Structure formats: C-alpha cells, structure tokens
Structure 1
Amino acid sequence: MAHGHHSGLIAIWISLISNVLLTVLKIVAGLLLASPVLLADGVHNAGDIIATVAALSSSMVSKKPADEDHPYGHGKAEVVASGFVAIILVIAALWIGYQSIGALFEPPHEPSWLALGAAALSLVWKQWLYVYTMRVGKAAKSKSVIATAYDHLADVYASLAAAVGIGLGLLGEHMNWAWAAYGDPIAGIIVSLLVLKLAYEIGRDAVDILMERALSPEKLAEYEHLINGVYEIKRLDRVRAREHGHYVIVDVRVGIPGDYTIQQGHDISRQIKERIKAADEDVIEVLVHLNPWYPGE
C-alpha cells in the first residue's frame, strides 16, 4: 500500500507539472493565433492546476493514520478532492461553452497550422497521462488519482475537438467551405457537453461515497457467505459495508448461542474479521456486534 501511495504521488506531480506547461502553451498559442477553442482549452488547463493541487494535498492527507478526532482514518479526503475536481470541470465546461457560443456570432478567425500543432501535441500528451494516471490510480485504489486521470480524459476530449475544429477550418479554407470556418467554436461546444458529462459522473461517485452508499449487493453477498462459514454463528442479522476513500469498512451483526462466554464471543468476532480481511484486501476494519441466540428462535 505504501508503494501504491508513492506511485500515486509521483503520478499527481507529473500531472501538475504537465498542466502548468500545457496551460502556458495553450493560452499563449490561443491568444497569438486567435483560436477560441485553444484559448478555452488553456483556461480549462488552468483550472486543472487547481484541481491537481487539491488531489495532491488530499492524497497526502488520506494516508495519515487514524487519530482521536478521525477514528476511521482520513480516507475521505480523497473523495472530497474528487468532488472538487468535478466542480472545476463544471466551471471549465461552462467557460468553454460560453466562449465557443460567443465565437459563433463573431467573424471567423483564420485557422493556423501552429494552433493545430499545439492541439495535437496536447492530445498526445494528455492521452498518455490519462492512461498512466488511471493505471496508477487503480493500482493504488486512490480516488484522487483516478479523478486526476478523468480530468486528463476531459483534456483529451478538448484537445481532440480543438484539433478537429482547427483542422476543419484549414480544410474549409482550402476547399472554400464557408461553414468550416466555424469548426473551431462548434468543436468547443461539443467539448463543453462532453466535459459536463464527465463532471457529472465524477461528482455522482464522490457524493455517493460521502453519503456512505452501501457496496454492491454482490459484494455484500460475498461477505455474508464468508460470515456464514463460521460454524458457531446461528443467525446473520445484518451486514453493511461502505467505502471510506481508498478502503472499506464493514459492519456485522450476528447471533450466537446466548450461553457462550465472553472469550468464545471474542474468538468468533476475530474469525469473522480475519475471514473478511483475508478475502478482500480493501477492508481495513470489520465491526462485529454479537446478539444472543437461543434454540427455537
């Protein structure tokens, strides 16, 4: 887990440095070459810098051990950062849409091969960052790193649309297609919709975890099967489980013979915990409540 955390921090640092460089490149190129979609993409990248800093901070906080004020650990810090990334993406999507719609009511800007080159460079680099960051995030089970990966995916959409829009403008100029001159802002509108969809998916997942949505029925059924494998258990009263960032907490209520000693009850609780933790490495805590059971119930 420590190795995964270290890899996640490296991935976020690479993302942060990349976002700074790409932000400067896109904004400068967008201003000099009068490309609305490239400029809007650059502003989006500027928001990515803030989101990546939040992901970096939360990743460091989330790995702090439990303390008196946070007895269940700090895992939800990553979920908060994931929600923050979703907010940044919504703002970026609205900005891109606003700029692109405004560009439709202005005389079309002359397309540039340099703008196309900048968009293509961003597309290739962001696609690599998405694949790399997503792989690290899944391996480390880090919500903040995975959210950063999805942020890169939004940039892939934006850069692809920018390249297509600018390319259409260049092709239209060569083929005398008047409508193609507006390929740049039209592509920007499409990007804004794609980014909004991505923001909704990230935000929904973050809210579900913060509201402690239960794990899937399949996962709960797996836990129930493990618990029922303990011979002394006579009744399974309840099983609940929730994500707490990059780990899972399970609550169990079972019935055991009412004449068992405290030591016997303790041993049964330990068996339940060991079985669940051995079967699912994401589980770090199993809370077991024992209820008395009597023959005939």
Structure 2
Amino acid sequence: MVPRDTDDRLNLSAGIASVSVALVLIAAKLWALFQTGALSVAATLADSALDLVMSLGALAAIAYAARPADDDHAFGHSAAEDLAALGQCLFILISAAMIAGAAAQRLASPAPAAIGAETTGIAVMGLSIALTLALVGWQRHVARSTGNRVVAADSLHYLGDLVPAIGAIGALWASRRFDLAWIDPAVAIGAALLMAQGALRIGRDAWDALMDRAVDAETVAGIEAIARGFPGVHGHHDLRTRRSGGRVFINLHIELDGSQSLTQAHDIGAALKRAILEHYPRADVIIHKDPVRPQ
C-alpha cells in the first residue's frame, strides 16, 4: 500500500503545478488580449483567471485535507476539498455568464469590433495548449496514483480549457484570413457554455459528497461481492458508504458464528477489512460484527 505521506506529496505537487501554469497563462493571455482585442482570447483569459482562483483553493484544500485526524475531526479533514470544489463552481458560473453577455452584445452590434495582431494571439494560444497538455498529463498521473478527486477534477477542468483555446485559434485565423469578425464572439459563447457545463458537474459532485450521498452503485456492488461468501462470514447488512474528498468511508455489519471466540471473530473481521482495502486502498473501513447461529 502506498504511504499516505507519499500521496500527500504527489497531490501537493499537482496543486503547485496547477497554480504555476495558471499564473504563466494569465500573463501571456493578458498581453495577447491587449494586442488582439479578441473576445475569444478574453474568454480563455477569464477561464485562466478562474483556474488560478480554483487552483489556489484546491491547493489550500489539498494541504488542509492532508492533515491527520484529530479530536475535533475524527474522520479527518477531507471535506475541505468538496467545499473548495463547490466554491469553484460558483466562480465559473458567474464568469461564464459575463463572457456570454459580452459576446452576445458584440454579435448584436451592427459594426463588429475589429480584431488585430492575430498572429500574436495564435502564438499565445499555442503556448496555452502546450502548457495545459503538460499539466493535464502530470495531474492524471497523480490522480491515478493517489485517487485524489480534487486533482482529477482539476485535470478535467484544464482538459476542458483546450476546447476554447483551440476555438480561439480558429477564430483568430478566420478573422485574419476571411475577415469573419462574428466567429470570435460565437467561439466565446461556446466557451462560456462549456465552462458552465463543467461548473455544474463539479458542483453536483461536491454537493453529493457534502450531503453524504452513497458512492456509485458499482463500488457498492464490489464491496458486497467481497463480503458475500468471505470465509467465516455468514451474511452482511447495513452497508453504508459516503465519499469525502478523495476518500471513501465504508461502514459494514457482518454476521459471524456466535459460538466462536472473540479472537476468531476479530481475525475474520480484520481479514475482510484487508480484502476490501486491497480493492479500495484509500477507503476508511469500519466493520461491526453481529453474532448469529449458523443453520
């Protein structure tokens, strides 16, 4: 099993990388916006600014969630990750609405604003795509290694940034090549819709975690399959699950032969817990033992 401190270091490295990339992209896109005046560039700039806010929040949440359980937080601090994700959702929705409104106004204008320095904008968007791909690659490696949901969600968000960046390149190229100024605000509206869709998805997952919703049916079925037929276990009931941050909390009642010794019952419960952790290594498992008389 991977040591917890190793997971924490990997998660923190992904958070720091995310913040660093966001800072670089904000500076580059701000310069490109002044050069081009393109709303599609403004959309990706706003997205990068929100990326920075969310990355800072995610980094703080990851650092806080890494703290060990204490007397006041017996189940740890992982809920901080879900609170951060819920805040990220609200920021993205507000930004998407502002971008879509500005783009709609430009589309309705009888004389669309001219776009300049398209080559500069295309170069900056190319840099954005390259840095984003590198960051997503590292985040996905960390998410696979640690199972951290915040890192995985941040990776999906940055992956979604590639679509408006590629769209911005297309809008700038079309403006330079064919003088089609309407493509720029159209791409900005598309980017805003993608941002809103991603925000709602992140917010729903965070809300479900904060409301202690059970984990997905596949995971529940997997836990039940392990308990069903486990040597010494005559049945199970009252399986309860919830997710908090990157951890899954499992509470399970198992039925054991009441005539056996306490030591034997303990050994069976411990073996079942190890079996569950082998399949779900970042779970927190509590097993309650109920005595029964085997038929």
> Does TM, scored on the shorter chain, surpass 0.5?
yes
Structure 1 CA distance for aligned equivalents of residues 6 and 18 of structure 2 = 18
Structure 2 CA distance for aligned equivalents of residues 169 and 192 of structure 1 = 20
Which structure 2 residues correspond to residues 1-297 of structure 1 after superposition, within 5 A?
1-106=4-109, 107-108=111-112, 109-111=114-116, 112-173=118-179, 180-283=180-283, 285-294=284-293
Structure 1 CA distance for aligned equivalents of residues 89 and 83 of structure 2 = 10
Q: Do the aligned residues in 1 keep the contact of 2:250 with 2:285 (CA within 8 Å)? A: yes
CA distance 1:118–1:254, change in 2 (3 Å): same
Q: Do the aligned residues in 1 keep the contact of 2:57 with 2:84 (CA within 8 Å)? A: yes
SS at match of 2:184: helix
* 1:24 Cα deviation after fit: 2.1
Q: Do the aligned residues in 2 keep the contact of 1:158 with 1:188 (CA within 8 Å)? A: yes
CA distance 1:137–1:81, change in 2 (3 Å): farther
CA distance 1:39–1:237, change in 2 (3 Å): closer
Unaligned runs of at least 5 residues, structure 1? 174-179
Stretch moving more, 55-64 or 18-27 = 18-27
Structure 2 CA distance for aligned equivalents of residues 232 and 136 of structure 1 = 37
CA distance 1:165–1:132, change in 2 (3 Å): same
* 1:71 Cα deviation after fit: 0.8
SS at match of 1:8: helix
Q: Do the aligned residues in 2 keep the contact of 1:85 with 1:148 (CA within 8 Å)? A: no
SS at match of 1:181: coil
SS at match of 2:214: coil
Structure 2 CA distance for aligned equivalents of residues 137 and 265 of structure 1 = 36
Encode CA deviations 1:195-215: one digit per residue, 9 max, x unaligned. Answer: 111222222222222222223
Q: Do the aligned residues in 2 keep the contact of 1:40 with 1:95 (CA within 8 Å)? A: no
Structure 2 CA distance for aligned equivalents of residues 85 and 138 of structure 1 = 22
TM-score (norm. length: structure 1)? 0.88
Structure 2 CA distance for aligned equivalents of residues 193 and 103 of structure 1 = 17
* 1:244 Cα deviation after fit: 2.5
Stretch moving more, 238-247 or 46-55 = 238-247
* 1:145 Cα deviation after fit: 1.6
Aligned-residue RMSD, C-alpha: 2.2
CA distance 1:127–1:230, change in 2 (3 Å): closer
Stretch moving more, 192-201 or 238-247 = 238-247
SS at match of 2:232: coil
* 1:72 Cα deviation after fit: 1.0
Unaligned runs of at least 5 residues, structure 2? none
TM-score (norm. length: structure 2)? 0.88
Q: Do the aligned residues in 1 keep the contact of 2:147 with 2:246 (CA within 8 Å)? A: yes
CA distance 1:34–1:234, change in 2 (3 Å): closer
* 1:229 Cα deviation after fit: 3.6
Structure 1 CA distance for aligned equivalents of residues 187 and 51 of structure 2 = 20
Q: Do the aligned residues in 1 keep the contact of 2:104 with 2:189 (CA within 8 Å)? A: yes
Structure 2 CA distance for aligned equivalents of residues 295 and 128 of structure 1 = 58
Structure 1 CA distance for aligned equivalents of residues 198 and 221 of structure 2 = 31
